[in-house]
C-alpha cells in the first residue's frame, strides 16, 4: 500500500507566508531600523504571495487526469469556491470602504468593475481575482503547450509585469513603452495581477508537481534558497537606490527564491490539520480588520505608545488577533472551503 504524501511542510510554509503578508502591511521593524524593516517587510515578505500561487499550481494541477471534461469541471468548481470566498470578503470590507470614503464622488461603475476584476475592493483583496484570472490563463495554456513552452509564456507575461512594477524606471526612457504602460494603468492600477504576476508562479507549481526533480538533500534546497534570496535582496536594493520601482511586488530573483523555498518546505516535518490549513486563508482575509481593531483598542485604553508606536509589538498583536479571528471564522463558517491556495 502506497502511503499518502505528507505536505505538512507546505502547510507551515503557507502559514508563515500569511504572517509575512501582515508584516508587509505593518512594517514590524520600522521602530528599530528603517533599512532592516525594508529588507524584511519590503523584500522578504514579498515571497508570500508567490508561495500561495505556487502552492495552488502544485495542488490543483497535479490532480488533473487529462480528461478534458472532468478537468474543466474541476477548474470551474475550484473557481466557484474562490469566487464565494471573494464575495464574502467584499461584503466584510464594505464598512471599511465606507469609512475610507471609497464610495465618494470619484466612485463610478467603471472604477468599481476595475476593482472587482483587477485591483480588489480592499488593498489586499487583489489576490483573489488575480488567482481566478491566473488559473484560467494557466489552465488553458496548459491544455495546449508543453511545460517548457508554458514556462516561456509565463516568463514573458511576468517580464511585462516587471516593467510596470519594480523595473518601471526603464519604461520612462522609451516613448512607446511609456505610452503603453500609461494606457494599461487606465485599466488597472498595478501589473501585479492575474494577467502578469500569477501565471508564472502557478506554472512553477505545475513544474514542481509534474516535472521530476533532481535528487537533492533538503540542505541543498535551503542553500539554493538562501543564495536566491541574497540575489533578490541585492536586486531590490539596487532598484530602490536608482528609484526604478513604481511598486515593489515583482523581482526577477523572486522566481528561484520561491521555487527553492517551496522545494525545501516539501521536506519539512510537522503536524497539521484541516483547520490549520483554513486558518491561513482567513488570516489573509481578516488581517486588515485585525489592524483596525488593534489600533482602535490601543487608542481606547491609551496604550498607543506600546501597541501602535512600537512597530514590533503592533505586528505581534495584529498576528495574534488575526490568528484568533481566523480560528473563530473556521469554527463558525457555514461554507467549507476545501481548497488549498
Indicate the pLDDT class of residue 340, thresholds 50, 70 and 90: very low
- Assess whether pLDDT exceeds 90 at residue 270: no
Q: What percent of the chain has pLDDT over 90?
A: 82
Q: For the chain, what's the residue count?
A: 341
Give pLDDT, residue 338: 46
What does the pLDDT average to over 42-71?
94
Q: Taking the model in full, what pTM does it have?
A: 0.93
What does the pLDDT average to over 159-164?
98
Give pLDDT, residue 100: 86
Give pLDDT, residue 4: 63
Q: Quick one: 39 exposed, middle or buried, by C-beta within 10 A (0-12, 13-18, 19+)?
A: middle
Which residue, 116, 105, 126, is CA-closest to 25?
Answer: 126
Give pLDDT, residue 24: 96
Indicate the pLDDT class of residue 290, thresholds 50, 70 and 90: very high
What does the pLDDT average to over 69-84?
94
Give pLDDT, residue 37: 96
Indicate the pLDDT class of residue 273, thresholds 50, 70 and 90: confident
SS3 assignment for the chain: CCCCCCCHHHHHHHHHHHHHHHHHHHCCCCCCCHHHHHHHHHHHHHHHHHHHHHHHHHHHHCCCCCCHHHHHHHHHHHHHHHHHHHHHHHHHCHHHHHHHCCCCCCCCHHHHHHHHHHHCCCCCCCHHHHHHHHHHHHHHHHHHCCHHHHHHHHHHHHHHHHCCCCCHHHHCCCHHHHHHHHHHCCCCCCCCCCCCCHHHHHHHHHHHHHCCCCCCCHHHHHHHHHHHHHHHHHHHHHHHHCCCCCCCCCCCCHHHHHHHHHHHHCCCCCCCCHHHHHHHHHHHHHHHHHHHHHHHHHHHCCCHHHHHHCHHHHHHHHHHHHHHHHHHHHHHCCCCCCCCC
- Assess whether pLDDT exceeds 50 at residue 334: no
Mean of per-residue pLDDT scores for the chain: 92
206-243 pLDDT, tens digit per residue, is 999 988 777 778 899 999 999 999 999 999 999 999 99
What does the pLDDT average to over 52-72?
94
94-124 pLDDT, tens digit per residue, is 999 998 888 876 778 888 899 999 999 999 9
Give pLDDT, residue 275: 77
What does the pLDDT average to over 278-293?
95
- Assess whether pLDDT exceeds 80 at residue 250: yes
Domain locations in the chain as residue ranges: 8-332
Least confident of 91-95, 157-161, 336-340: 336-340
Amino acid at each position: 500500500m502506497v502511503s499518502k504524501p505528507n505536505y505538512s511542510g507546505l502547510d507551515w510554509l503557507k502559514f508563515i507566508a500569511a504572517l509575512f503578508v501582515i508584516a508587509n502591511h505593518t512594517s514590524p521593524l520600522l521602530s528599530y531600523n528603517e533599512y532592516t524593516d525594508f529588507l524584511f517587510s519590503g523584500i522578504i515578505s514579498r515571497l508570500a504571495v508567490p508561495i500561495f500561487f505556487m502552492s495552488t499550481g502544485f495542488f490543483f494541477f497535479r490532480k488533473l487526469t487529462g480528461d478534458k471534461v472532468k478537468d474543466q469541471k474541476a477548474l470551474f468548481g475550484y473557481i466557484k469556491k474562490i469566487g464565494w470566498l471573494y464575495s464574502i470578503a467584499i461584503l466584510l470590507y464594505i464598512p471599511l470602504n465606507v469609512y475610507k470614503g471609497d464610495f465618494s464622488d470619484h466612485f463610478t461603475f467603471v472604477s468599481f468593475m476595475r476593482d472587482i476584476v483587477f485591483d480588489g475592493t480592499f488593498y489586499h483583496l487583489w489576490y483573489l481575482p488575480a488567482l481566478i484570472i491566473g488559473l484560467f490563463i494557466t489552465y488553458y495554456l496548459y491544455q495546449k503547450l508543453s511545460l517548457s513552452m508554458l514556462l516561456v509564456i509565463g516568463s514573458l507575461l511576468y517580464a511585462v509585469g516587471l516593467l510596470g512594477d519594480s523595473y518601471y524606471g526603464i519604461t520612462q526612457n522609451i516613448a512607446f513603452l511609456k505610452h503603453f504602460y500609461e494606457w494599461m494603468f487606465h485599466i488597472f492600477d498595478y501589473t501585479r495581477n492575474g494577467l502578469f504576476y500569477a501565471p508564472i508562479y502557478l506554472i512553477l507549481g505545475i513544474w514542481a508537481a509534474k516535472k521530476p526533480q533532481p535528487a537533492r538533500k533538503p540542505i541543498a534546497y535551503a542553500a539554493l534558497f538562501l543564495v536566491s534570496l541574497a540575489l533578490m535582496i541585492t536586486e531590490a536594493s539596487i532598484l530602490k537606490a536608482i528609484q526604478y520601482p513604481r511598486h515593489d511586488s515583482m523581482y526577477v530573483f523572486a522566481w528561484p527564491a520561491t521555487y527553492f523555498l517551496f522545494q525545501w518546505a516539501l521536506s519539512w516535518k510537522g503536524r497539521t490539520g484541516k483547520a490549520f490549513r483554513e486558518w491561513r486563508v482567513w488570516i489573509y482575509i481578516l488581517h486588515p480588520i485585525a489592524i483596525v481593531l488593534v489600533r482602535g483598542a490601543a487608542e481606547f485604553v491609551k496604550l498607543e505608545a506600546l501597541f501602535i508606536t512600537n512597530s514590533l509589538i503592533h505586528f505581534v498583536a495584529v498576528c495574534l488577533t488575526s490568528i484568533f479571528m481566523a480560528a473563530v471564522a473556521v469554527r463558525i463558517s457555514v461554507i467549507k472551503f476545501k481548497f488549498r491556495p
